[in-house]
Structure 1
Amino acid sequence: MRINRPLRIAAGLAALAVVATACGGNEERSVSSSSEGGKLIVGIKYDQPGLGLRNPDGTFSGFDVEVAKYVAGQLGVSEENIEFKEAPSAQRETLIENGEVDYIVATYSITDARKEKVGFAGPYFVAGQSLLVADGNTDITGPDTLAGKKLCSVTGSTPAQKIAEEYPDVQLQPFDTYSACVESLRNGAIDAVTTDDIILAGYAAQYPGELKVVGEPFTTENYGIGLAKDDTDGRNQINDAIEEMVASGAWEEAFNETVGASGYQLPAEPVVDRY
């Protein structure tokens, strides 16, 4: 029997769809299935000293990295079987929704808007938004002193959104990364950088005598571990891992070995909220 051309095309397209599905496509990942397979892809920041930093030799260091590794270990995946992937602020939800990562540990504040798209375990840390300025700056002491100033934050971040909504007199200049903001601050192109205090402390420690954190934190940021929205099993497993990290003392040890060098004081231990 002769098959007409339209039917042959339709059959071919169907076959391609099957192949694409078999190859993964943009399917939502599952923490459980990935960990059972012995490998995990984890999103982190590459440019945040003390938190998530890609070192010149290609290794990774920081508190977020240590949290990511501890969680992986609790899931049965050894450090050498973790693939770290850069997760810029504006791309975090996309990386999760496209199935490019299993979970993200990248100073990722839990918000209602983000929970519409992704799931969260945690929090594993509680920070607060603050300001970074040149060491000799005496004009800027808090958000109420920013009117008319050039302030840098990162596109897609909660600090940038906070400033845009509540401090309209500020000249907000969003960049792709905080490291780019810091370089602009160092060369005098902007007056200040805003993000969470723990992030800024790392940059201040990187440039001692040149940069400083000023003012009291003016928000509360609950850092969560982002994963696929409907991955309930994965979220529960990661929450268990965070609780174990805190209870065992590994959380405090990781903090002291990473962020502690900046002079940032050890905060209260986080209490996991089963979102």
Structure 2
Amino acid sequence: MQNNKLITRIAGFLGMILLVSCATSNKDRQDPWEGWNRGAQTFNDNLDDYIMKPVAEGYQFVMPSFADRGVSNFFSNINDIGVILNDLLQLKFAQGGKDGARFLVNTVAGIAGFIDVADMIDLPKHNEDFDQTLGVWGVPTGPYLVLPFFGPSTPRGVGGMIGDSAMNPITYVGFFSSGAASTGLFGVNTVDLRADNLTTEKIATEAALDRYEFFKNAYLQQREYLVHDGNIPFDEEYEEFHFEDDSSEKGKMGPVRPY
């Protein structure tokens, strides 16, 4: 519950900042809060350089590869609960059935998910989250936003993050034990994810002429790709973030694509 309270407070604080920024910004509609975003990214980069990256490198050094993979599989299996719920919310019932079978197989035969047995029998991992669900139901993404500690996002992404937290069983571990247990599990998951992305982040940083622009474009393109399940309309441009009222189908609530 401590994690839910933290996310809610951050979301509320950021919401006030965004309302003020929205009234004063005349910048690119895709990135009107660039000043805030660059400052937040610098903060996150420094936090990563001095804390997260050294911890992740130490974790990767002491963890045997099979154990590292097992921990990643365990948290991926827990994440599949949220994937299943978002499948159903997006009316993807066939995929939801497959993801449900994947969760059951890995939980039982894969020893609580430490072994990805489902992948061995052609039940692949799907990537569905509440941000995608909101997009499918017509909620506009809004402009790019970098969150302290959490990284690249959008206003819709903040709502998605809160929804994903509500769907994650780890959030409720505190009901049955101390809050430290829930915080510890989230911490291990964060370190494990950072360790898994050490090589990717290094390559991206070396390839980017402007690190900020690189990660912004990569994030926005990935979210658009995921919401549309890879079927991105050719006539849809990035400037269509639907900030004004729109009487077209894009502005109505419902499971339509594009959103």
**Which bracket does the TM-score occupy, shorter chain normalised?**
under 0.3
TM-score, L = length of structure 2: 0.24
Q: Of Structure 1 and Structure 2, which has the larger fraction of its residues in helix? A: 2
Q: Which of structures 1 and 2 has the bigger CA Rg?
A: 1
Q: Of Structure 1 and Structure 2, which has the larger fraction of its residues in strand? A: 1
TM-score, L = length of structure 1: 0.23
